Amino acid sequence: MHFNPYGGVAAELAVELVNAPHDLAPDALLALLRAHDYRPEGTCTPEEAAELTAWARRLEEVFAGTVDRAAALNALLAESASQPYISTHHGRAPHLHYAREDGPMVERLKAYTASGLAHAFCQDPDRIGRCDREGCGVVYVDTSRNGRRRFCSTRCSNRVHVAEHRDRRAS
C-alpha cells in the first residue's frame, strides 16, 4: 500500500509515540522524533514531553477502536490542525503542513500525527489497529500489500498460532 507522506511517515510516528514508554525523557523523545525524520529545532522540555505523552494517549484511542474513529480523529484534527498550506522548507519537495512551521513543536507534532492518522484512516480504516495477542497493547499501521495484519510483530503472531495449535492437538 502506498501512502502519501502524512498517511505514511506521520502515521508511523503516531504509532511510535503511542508505543513509547509513558515516562519518555525529553532527550529520548527528541531522538524518537529524529529517527522518524521529524526535525524539531532546539530542545524538548519536560512539560512538552508530558504534553506529547498525553497526546499519545489520545491517539491510542483511534488504534484501539473502542471509540468512533472518525469522530475521534475529527476532534484531534479540530484541536490541532490550522489552515493547511504547502511548504518547501529544508530543501524538501513541496508538501502539506497542517500547522505553522514557526509554531511550537508540540502544536506542529500534534497536527502532524493527527493528520497522518486521518490520511491513513481515510485510505483504509482497517489498517489502523492494535495487536490481537491478548495482553499485548502495541499499535500499528498496516502497510502490507494484502492489508490483513492482525499482530504487531511476527513474535506475537507466532505465540498466538502456537497456542492455537497446542489447543487443537490437546482436543
What domains sit in the chain, N to C, each tagged with a CATH number? Answer: 5-124 (1.10.3300.10)
**In this predicted structure, what is the pLDDT of residue 101?**
81
Through-space distance between the first and last CA atoms of the chain, rounded to whole angstroms? 39
**In this predicted structure, what is the pLDDT of residue 27?**
93
User: What are the respective helix, strand and coil percentages of the chain, to the nearest 5?
Assistant: 55, 5, 35
Tell me if 105 sits within 8 A of 40, measured CB to CB: yes
Tens of each residue's pLDDT in the chain, 171 residues: 444 555 578 999 999 999 999 888 999 999 999 998 887 878 899 999 999 999 999 999 999 988 999 999 999 999 998 788 888 877 878 888 888 888 899 999 999 999 999 999 999 999 999 999 999 999 999 988 888 889 999 999 999 999 889 988 988
At 153, is the secondary structure helix, strand, or coil? Answer: coil
**In this predicted structure, what is the pLDDT of residue 109?**
93
